[in-house]
Chain A
Amino acid sequence: MTNSASAPRTLYDKIFDDHVVERQDDGTCLLYIDRHLVHEVTSPQAFEGLRMTGRKVRAPHKTLAVVDHNVPTSDRSLPNPDPESAAQIAALAENVREFGIEYYDGFDRRQGIVHVVGPEQGFTLPGTTIVCGDSHTSTHGAFGALAHGIGTSEVEHVLATQTLIQKKARNMRVTVDGTLPDGVGAKDVVLAIIGTIGTAGGTGYVIEYAGEAIRSLSMEGRMTVCNMSIEGGARAGLVAPDEKAFAYFKDRPKSPKGADWDAAMRYWETLQSDPGAFFDSEIRLDGAALPPIVSWGTSPEDVISVEGLVPDPDLIADETKRSAKKRALAYMGLTAGTKITDIKVDRIFIGSCTNGRIEDLRQAAKVLVGHKVNGNVNAMVVPGSGLVKAQAEAEGLDKIFREAGFDWREPGCSMCLAMNPDRLSPEERCASTSNRNFEGRQGFKGRTHLVSPAMAAAAAVAGHFVDVRQWPFAG
């Protein structure tokens, strides 16, 4: 399919090449899509488009639908308090029924955030192409799948044709060497990467994450890193699948079984960049030197060490950048020079497709054992899926959270984007394990600081940011 099949190829090159249905002279390709995830917010117009043109879903069994963005995280037996959300959820239920697509509704124990559910079910697999009308589809790259977000027109295109019109992106490799210090995890790694390359640094690229610090991460940790690739501008992030990834899929409901498993393994083992493969851009970070990171502004690139100070925009030479950062500080209600650990928080949100998995909850719970949430803080934890919730409850994590004073909720996207009733009030300040600190993201005029689950838990107890490496905090 490619005229340089013998030349060393990157992991991205390999997966892309293996999915090209047709390639035009100008490089525009028709790319086959193996797996399509659908949720209620970005799909109704796509199904409507099919209906209006009399088109069918080409391969319904390659699509999995789940409700996540809009669902309340409170008692699901009560009616949805928001009629618009309820209508959107009802539309999804109707669409999946009409077009014959498997669907996990709000009462299904497998329900959860699409990017938690896909891997959990073994729907996500190494070497596949995966799309979803959600930018955090990059999450699935943790397993060596080429996965990225698409718009609703493309959702319709995939439903109708099981393909996408694509041009190949460039290759970037981000290598994180060394051993991460205790208290520093995947979230700190990816925030540090975004701080280094900037929020547009990965635009036009697919990022492959490599190096000892990445390899040593659990699959959950790798998902956290790949998840936020889009915050660095890259549509997709990848980690070459290894024994850890293969072990993750063993016996998942939709994973290959028997002879299929053996055949899949033979293919999966080829999924790594060849020695000497060309990367258009190479970035290197020293993992051993990374501190816990806190975002201070309204872009995910606005990050700093927990030991740092709120930066002074007046020191920025470029006028546009300076005014952007001044605007961010004003929005966040922060003054340059303030110690990060002096910033008080009102709310804590632990959850989202970035940090709503079992390991994230374990890390937060570990910090909380024997502690209480500060009296000025309102804290909630929203498991990424029903299965994560059940697992956490089996391990007794829910008790730790509840005893500390956290609200233990039903699964969904929740306050990551605040489409459901979980949201910040104006000027409320939140330590959040989610992925975006944009203006208004978690609620009109709400102020978001992106942190790891351990850092969020520590802030919940202290009432302000603390360096989790020094936990238990005596203050």
Chain B
Amino acid sequence: MEKFTVLEGVAAPLKLVNVDTDMIIPKQYLKTIKRTGLGTGLFSEMRYNEDGTENPGFVLNQPAYRNTKILVAGDNFGCGSSREHAPWALLDFGIRCVISTGFADIFYNNCFKNGILPIVVTQDQLDKLFDDAERGANATLTVDLAAQEIRGPDGGAIAFEIDPFRKRCLMEGLDDIGLTLEKETSITRFETTMETTRPWL
């Protein structure tokens, strides 16, 4: 997993609440057996017209936002299914940070497994970030994970909270499974105990 330290780039405003994972990556893209290549399907039903051409009204199709690295979106982002194709699609498009007032639990969790940083801010902060994002390439944001702050184009900074363990994993690009396998002895001990306490399992 690629490390996440400081990310600077264009932020796109997606002023919708309850953006669900079906919206992020519709089902027809879930038939892949790979993790990569899903960027073209990102937000596909909003991004493309029925004939497959681009919908110029959709934010990511506008010239200023084609290289978006940060997404600023309304509350409860990522609700719905557990499909990790949602963060895979964001990542494949080039988005490594999503900022909202709230995230659905499974999506939030899936982001960290893919080097994407989801940041929770207050409504006032989100409104300010929407304003910044609407200025497109003229107003890039800097997300500094070590300092836990988002620095705006006008010098202001927004501090954010993050779980220390998740922060470390992101910053060091750690492999969860590798970390857990180091605890092999504990797992085996647990299984041995369980054979006595819950033998029917």
Contact = CB atoms under 8 A, between A and B. Distances in A.
B113 A149 contact: no
B40 to A, nearest CB: 15
Contacts, number: 183
B34 A42 contact: no
Contact of A21 (B102, B187, B198): B187
Interface stretch (B11-19, B56-64, B145-153): B11-19
A149 B106 contact: yes
B23 A233 contact: no
Contacts of A426: 50
A153 B180 contact: no
Interface stretch (A98-106, A158-166, A173-181, A380-388): A158-166
B31 A32 contact: no
Interface string A364-381: 000000000000000000
B76 interface: yes
Given A200-B102, A203-B102, A233-B105, A261 B200 contact: yes
Interface string B176-201: 11011101001100110010001111
Contacts of B177: 53, 55, 156-157, 160-161
Contacts of A127: 198
B74 A149 contact: no
A438 interface: yes
Given A70-B31, A85-B31, A439-B45, A153 B176 contact: yes
B110 A419 contact: no
B31 A88 contact: yes
Interface stretch (A128-136, A212-220, A334-342, A461-469): A128-136
B34 A45 contact: yes
Contacts of A28: 163, 165
Contact of B17 (A32, A34, A320): A320
Contact of A160 (B22, B84, B181): B181
Nearest to B110: A151
Interface in B18-38: 18, 20, 22-23, 26-28, 30-35
Contact of B27 (A88, A230, A324, A418): A418
B164 interface: yes
Contacts of B20: 299, 436, 438
A412 interface: no
Nearest to A69: B30
Contacts of B32: 84
Given A42-B82, A162-B187, A324-B17, A264 B105 contact: no
A396 B194 CA distance: 44
A157 B177 CA distance: 6
B170 interface: no
A393 interface: no
A125 interface: yes
B187 A199 contact: no
B180 A134 contact: no
A170 to B, nearest CB: 11
A30 B79 contact: no
A197 interface: no
Contacts of B76: 199-200, 203, 233
A31 to B, nearest CB: 10
A161 B79 contact: no
Contacts of A417: 22, 27, 81
Interface size class of B (residues with CB under 8 A): 35 or more
A136 B194 CA distance: 27
B80 interface: yes
B200 A135 contact: no
A152 interface: yes
A91 interface: yes
Interface in B80-98: 80-84, 87
Nearest to A32: B190
A426 B25 CA distance: 18
A55 B81 CA distance: 27
Contacts of A436: 20, 22, 80-81
Contact of B176 (A157, A204, A440): A157
Given A199-B18, A199-B79, A154 B113 contact: yes
A161 B187 contact: yes
A86 to B, nearest CB: 9
A267 B31 contact: no
- Identify the interface centre among A165, A267, A426: most chain B CB within 10 Å of its CB: A165
Interface string A417-435: 1110000001000000000
Nearest to B123: A320
Interface in A32-66: 32, 34, 41-42, 44-45, 48, 53, 55, 58
B75 interface: yes
Contact of B198 (A42, A230, A267): A267
A163 B180 contact: yes
B1 to A, nearest CB: 9
Contacts of A87: 31, 33
Interface string A74-97: 000000001011011001000000
29 contacts: A22-B183, A30-B183, A30-B186, A42-B83, A85-B31, A125-B200, A149-B82, A151-B84, A151-B106, A152-B84, A154-B110, A157-B176, A160-B177, A160-B181, A165-B165, A165-B179, A199-B76, A200-B104, A230-B106, A233-B105, A260-B199, A299-B18, A323-B15, A324-B16, A417-B22, A417-B27, A419-B28, A419-B30, A440-B22
Q: Which 3 A-B pairs have the closest CB atoms?
A: A256-B200, A153-B113, A151-B84
Given A21-B183, A22-B183, 18 more contacts: A30-B183, A30-B186, A34-B201, A45-B33, A45-B34, A55-B181, A150-B106, A161-B181, A200-B18, A203-B105, A261-B200, A320-B17, A323-B15, A417-B81, A426-B50, A438-B80, A439-B23, A444-B45
Interface of A: 21-22, 24, 26, 28, 30, 32, 34, 41-42, 44-45, 48, 53, 55, 58, 69-70, 82, 84-85, 87-88, 91, 125, 127-128, 133-135, 137, 148-154, 156-157, 160-163, 165, 167, 169, 199-200, 203-204, 230, 233, 235, 256, 260-261, 263-264, 267, 299, 320-321, 323-324, 327, 417-419, 426, 436, 438-441, 444
